[in-house]
């Protein structure tokens, strides 16, 4: 059987292309995204990770096959909170946009009905660290940031990124997921890509018309 990580990569390739081509992502890469939109993006990612990190950790804790698959250092909620604090945003001020709120509600349902599907949602954010690492220096230059302050979410593992990503792939491939779980994991990953692209488009819409 095809390793789950190969299936995820192949079956979500078009979605990755679409996500990467979002005007917001392109502006991040060029260093032209207005800083307030960057902060709004962090706010939405914060809302996603507040639900995603908790639900994924719970799913891994409750199923012996998933034990240790996702661990504290990989989770992004705390880094997002720290980046937001750097920009003067308190966690309690953050509000989810409709696309983000809808995604969070779906993750709650998915976690209750098919806990392993959380790994599909999670895969997208874990994989996105690969591209984000390239973007972090551009973001720092664009906003005059130093060190990790304000970009700890975008570059959480520094030079260890490749090694941690390879290890995550190995752990995922070693799990004996059922056929149904594999289907749900892929569906969740596709949904996650769409939700992030939708949020990026909503945030960038203001830049385009403003
Ligand atoms: C300008 C924006 C982006 C760039 C330049 C970019 C670049 C990359 C690169 C170079 C990799 C390959 C890593 C490797 O195989 O060694 C990668 C992987 C990945 N990226 Fe992106 N990315 C971007 C945006 C995004 C976004 C917005 C998401 C999520 C919504 C995302 C999700 C992923 C995922 C899940 C993988 C892992 C693919 C796999 O299974 O191998 N990326 N990205």
Residue with CA closest to ligand 1 atom 36:
127
- Provide the pLDDT for residue 1: 87
Distance CA 116, CA 111 (A): 7
Confirm or reject: Cβ of 29 under 6 Å from ligand 1: yes
pLDDT, tens digit (0-9, with 9 covering 90-100), for 92-118: 999 999 999 999 999 999 999 999 999
Q: Is the CB of residue 78 less than 8 Å from the CB of residue 148?
A: no
pLDDT greater than 80 at residue 208: no
What number does the ligand 1 atom closest to the CA of 124 have? 35
The pTM score is 0.96
- Provide the pLDDT for residue 108: 98
pLDDT, tens digit (0-9, with 9 covering 90-100), for 147-194: 999 999 999 999 999 999 999 999 999 999 999 999 999 999 999 999
CA 83 / ligand 1 centre spacing (Å): 21
Distance CA 30, CA 138 (A): 7
Domains of the chain are 4-209 (1.20.910.10)
N residues, the chain:
210
Q: Is the CB of residue 41 less than 8 Å from the CB of residue 207?
A: no
């Amino acid at each position: 059987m095809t390793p789950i990580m190969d299936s995820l990569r192949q079956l979500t390739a078009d979605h990755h292309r679409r996500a990467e081509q979002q005007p917001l992502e392109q502006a991040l890469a060029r260093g032209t995204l207005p800083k307030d939109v960057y902060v709004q993006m962090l706010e939405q990612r914060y809302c996603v990770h507040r639900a995603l990190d908790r639900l994924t950790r719970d799913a891994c804790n409750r199923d012996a096959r998933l034990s240790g698959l996702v661990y504290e250092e990989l989770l992004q909620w705390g880094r997002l909170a720290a980046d937001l604090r750097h920009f003067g945003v308190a966690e309690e001020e953050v509000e989810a946009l409709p696309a983000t709120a809808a995604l969070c509600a779906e993750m709650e349902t998915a976690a209750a009905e098919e806990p392993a599907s959380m790994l599909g949602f999670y895969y997208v954010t874990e994989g996105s660290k690969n591209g984000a690492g390239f973007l972090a220096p551009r973001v720092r230059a664009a906003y005059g940031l130093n060190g990790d302050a304000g970009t700890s979410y975008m570059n959480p593992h520094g030079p260890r990124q490749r090694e941690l990503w390879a290890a995550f792939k190995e752990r995922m491939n070693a799990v004996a997921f059922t056929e149904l779980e594999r289907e749900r994991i892929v569906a969740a990953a596709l949904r996650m890509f769409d939700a992030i692209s939708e949020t990026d488009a909503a945030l960038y819409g203001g830049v385009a018309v403003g």
